[in-house]
Each structure stands twice: as structure tokens, then as C-alpha cells.
Amino acid sequence: MDLTPGCLGNLREMALSAYRWNSFDPEKRAEEDIAFYERQLLQDLEEIPEEKKAQYIESYKSRLSSLFASKSRCANAMVTGPAKFNFRQNEKRENAYWNKYEEFNAWRERFLAAMKRAQEEARPVEEKQEEAVRLLLEDLEQKAETIHDLDTGKLKGYHRALFVSSIYNKVATYASHGEVEIVQRAVDFITEFNSKVKKPVITARNRFFQLPEVAVRMREKLHARKNEENKEAAFEGGKVVWNHEADRLQILFDNIPDDDTRKNLKSNGFRWSPKHKAWQRQ
């Protein structure tokens, strides 16, 4: 498996053909394209697991070959000469090429996004939790410092209550997902911050300090829900599944839904899950 510069050398002739009728210097354009796509391919491979690289390279070359072939059907009247030049036909071929180009880039984005999701799912739970805690505490520290600056007069022109509400809502989201450890770390952080300042950024009476209990109850509720049996309801062309283990409402179609159906699904919060082969939402 060639992962070095020059790995697309076998496509140079196709690149040359792509510009033979639409460039005054097809050799230069071909070399520029090959160099560009080689850099792109090598950059993409840095984000792809080893076991998926061969598959990606094969698909990349195949799609790039198709792109070059489409470009080779396009011409430029300045290059070929205007005599008997079929402008209408060439316009259709140019449109076909740009459609191919957009499809190529859309495929890359989908593939790389799928690899990123897979890598994220494969990360240890403890690692993902620590990352979430780090980001959360950084955000809380920034907001707590802002509240303190408002309390001490160092900062003016902002509503204190908005920052308190923002802290509460952020941590409450984790509580609603049963993330007991993360919520407790957040509450401990604010408690420690309060101990270092004259005026607490969040008072002890605030419901913020009840969030660990909320998180515990939600975890118990979610655990009980996961043990429930999934429910299904069939409809013409597919079925709806209440997947308690995944905590998702899923719609599985027998065939790929049309554009209007997909737009309606997205507008109602459903997203395509390659893992479950379903449109789903929480």
C-alpha cells in the first residue's frame, strides 16, 4: 500500500487527458492536480485508522479517476477553436463534471466524519469522561471569574444572573444524562471557588447544589429503562423502534427515504446513524 508522495502517479495520464481539450498547458495542469490530490489523500490518511486506509485509497483513486474522465469530456473553445464548437453540449458536460466534483468532496467528508465518530466511540469511557470534565471546568472557571469580577466591580455592564443561569444549565444537562461523577466534580469546583471569595458566585440555597441528587436519580431511571424490552411498530415501508438500551427513538426504512422525508426527519431532530442503520433521536 503506497502512502508516499507519488502514490497517484498511475493517474497522471488520465489527468493529462482531462485537460487536453480545455487548457493551453495540459501537462502543467495535470501535474498541479496530481500534486494537489496526493497532498489531500495523504492528509486524509492521517485521520483514518490503519485497517481502513486500503479501502479509502482504493475508493479515492476510483472516484478521482471518474472525476478526471468527466473533465476529459469538457472542452474550451479558445483551445479547440470556435468552429463548429457545440456550446450547449459542452455546458451539459461541464455541469456533469461539477456534479462529480461535489459528489467526490461530499464522499470524502462523509467518510472522514464516519472515521472520526468511530474513533470517538472507541475511546475508553474514562478518557471521554475526563475530557468532558476538563472542558466543563474550564467553562465554569471562566464564568465564575466573570461573576466574581462583577461582584467586585472590576467588570460592569453584564447581568450576573445570566452567568449563574448558564452555569446551572450546563451542569443540569449532565445531570439529566445521569452523569453523576461529572456533576459532582462541577459542584465541588464551585464550592471550592466560593471558599476563596468573599461573596459566593452561587449561593448555597441555589438549586445548583441539588444537581448531584438529580444526577443519581436520573442514572437509576436510565438504568431501569435500559432493562426494558424494546418496542416496535410497523408501518408501510418500515418500522419504528423504541430502543431503550440506546435511549433512542429509531425509524428504520425498507428503502432509502426520499429528499422530502429526510428533510422532515432532520427538522424533527432525527439524524442518520450508520451504526444502527436507522434515523434516530433521543
- pLDDT tens string, the chain, 282 residues long: the values are 444 556 788 899 999 999 998 889 999 999 999 999 999 999 999 999 999 999 999 999 999 999 999 999 998 888 777 777 888 898 999 999 999 999 999 999 999 998 988 888 777 888 888 888 999 999 999 999 999 999 999 999 899 999 999 999 999 999 999 999 999 999 999 999 999 999 999 999 999 999 999 999 999 988 877 776 778 888 888 888 888 777 788 898 988 888 888 888 888 888 888 877 889 887
- Do the beta carbons of residue 215 and residue 178 sit within 8 Å? yes
CA dihedral 164, 168, 170, 175 (to 10 degrees): 170
Which residues neighbour 237 within 8 Å (Cβ) at sequence distance 6 or greater? 253, 254, 255
What residue has cell string 467526490?
Answer: 104
Strand boundaries in the chain, DSSP class E: 231-235, 238-243, 248-253, 271-273, 278-281
Question: For the purposes of burial, counting CB atoms within 10 Å of the CB of 124, is it exposed (0-12), middle (13-18) or buried (19 or more)?
Answer: exposed
The per-residue pLDDT for 246 is: 73
pTM: 0.54
How far apart are alpha carbons 127 and 121 in whole angstroms? 11
How far apart are alpha carbons 69 and 67 in whole angstroms? 5
Q: What is the pLDDT of residues 200-257, one digit of tens each?
A: 999 999 999 999 999 999 999 888 777 767 788 888 888 888 887 777 888 989 888 8
The per-residue pLDDT for 237 is: 86
C-alpha 155: how far from its chain's center? 37
